[in-house]
Structure 1
Amino acid sequence: MRTRTSRLDLDEPVVTDLDALYAICSDPQSWTHFSSLRHTDPSVTERMLQGWSELWRRDGLATWIIRERGSRTVGGYGGCSKRQNSFWNLGYRLHPDAQGKGYAAEMCEIAVECAHRTEPDLPIVAYLLEHNVASARVAERAGLELITRGPDVGNPDADAVRLVYADRSLTADQVDVVLSA
């Protein structure tokens, strides 16, 4: 499935995207805010890609491959993926060469629209580390508001704080699910 914005082609991932995805996921500059998640083995990226394909089949919406309009070069990935059948998770990762051009915000705006059309009863949530100011601005531009902040469960940095943005109020149970995701 292809979705277009004014500057981007957003495509459902395919197996031929694997090498480009691994290049992004293994690049330390792509992980400046959470370096412990950097991929050091292509099989991790392959499992991620397979998971996205399963989500597309199951939910009809998941993570896209991001390219500049008309380009074959993968600039990143992102979109809304359903998590624990409780919420849409809005997220992205861009190649360092694609950062700072507004692509994340452009993709996130259309991802929010698509999630609202696909399953409007589910909240759209973006969770990020407190020091990732650029991602917070992208979430706000996509229409999400800061709901809560708390410990980032599973982060090797015990002092890491997770911010949770959402398109609506969340129940305490929903916040607990997001904070543990």
Structure 2
Amino acid sequence: MNQLDTDRLRLRSWMPKDAPFLLDLESRVETIRYLGPGATVMMTIEQANASIGRRRAVRGVGQGIWAIEHRDSGTLVGNLLCKPMSEEMQRHVGVKPDDLASEIGWHLHPDAQGQGFATEAARAVLDYAHRANPHQRVFAIVDPRNEPSQKTCARLGLERIGYTEGYAVDEHLVYLAPSPEGRTTEP
């Protein structure tokens, strides 16, 4: 997985030394409350280490799960993913099984929120994903109560194309990133 640098951030692979930060990040209800069905509060350093192993295993053309690090200080600020969309999720979103579909998502430590880091990191990953495979369709699935992520999607130029069908108890908003040519295409 490629390291990506922006003006302020470095997106890199998760490393075992990051486990204390990941535990702090995902032991907070306010951080994981919008991560979708099945998200649970992380309780132990062992869970953090296991999660890092799973994050490092997600690799593909234009895909991965990155630790977001502030370039100047080296401080970790959050997590960003662009991973293959599961067949189940494709059904909930209304994407054909043969389509190359990825899901982008982010969550930041409360101390790092409101500073534009999610937008900056997601823009770098969207550029990387589309350079790696221009035919890849990248979706964001957003809890309708998560107004900050909706605003991030708008700043990124993602188009809200509808709602999930049966993804969770509540429907989630579905956003589609524009293609490299600047067009969105309905599923």
Q: TM-score, normalised by structure 2?
A: 0.78
Aligned residues: 166
| More helix by percentage | 1
Aligned to 2:110: 96
Q: Does 1:141 align with 2:142?
A: no
- Does residue 17 (structure 1) correspond to residue 18 (structure 2)? The answer is yes
Structure 1 residues 151-173: Cα deviation after superposition (integer angstroms, max 9, x where no partner)? 552x4xx3x220000122243xx
Q: 1:75 aligns with which of 74, 77, 101?
A: 77
Q: Point out which structure has higher relative CO (alpha carbons under 8 A, 6+ apart).
A: 2
**How many angstroms apart in 2 are the aligned matches of 1:32 and 1:53?**
23
Percentage of matched positions with identical amino acids: 25
8 A contact 2:65–2:83 mirrored in 1:
yes
C-alpha displacement at 1:29, in angstroms?
Answer: 2.6
Report how far residue 48 of structure 1 moved: 2.9
Long gaps (5+) in structure 2: 87-98, 178-183
Q: Which runs of 4+ in 1 moved over 6 A?
A: none
Partner of 1:49: 52
Q: Tell whether 2:178 aligns with 1:164.
A: no
> What CA distance in whole angstroms lies between the structure 1 residues aligned with 2:32 and 2:147?
14
Instruction: Tell me how far apart the structure 1 counterparts of residues 112 and 81 of structure 2 sit (CA, whole Å).
Output: 16
Cα distance in structure 2, aligned partners of 1:130 and 1:72: 33
Distance in 1, Cα, partners of 2:16 & 2:54 = 12
| CA distance in 1: counterparts of 2:47 and 2:172, whole angstroms | 24
Structure 1: segments with no counterpart, 5+ residues: 172-181
The structural deviation recorded for 1:46 is 3.1
Q: 1:39 is matched with which residue?
A: 42
- Note the C-alpha offset of 1:32: 4.2
Distance 1:69 1:96, change over 3 A: same
Instruction: Report the Cα distance in structure 2 between the residues aligned to 1:96 and 1:89, rounded to whole angstroms.
Output: 23
For the structure 1 residues 47 and 119, does the alpha-carbon distance in structure 2 shift closer, same or farther, using more than 3 Å as the test?
farther
TM-score by length of 1: 0.81
Q: Which moved more, 1:41-50 or 1:118-127?
A: 41-50
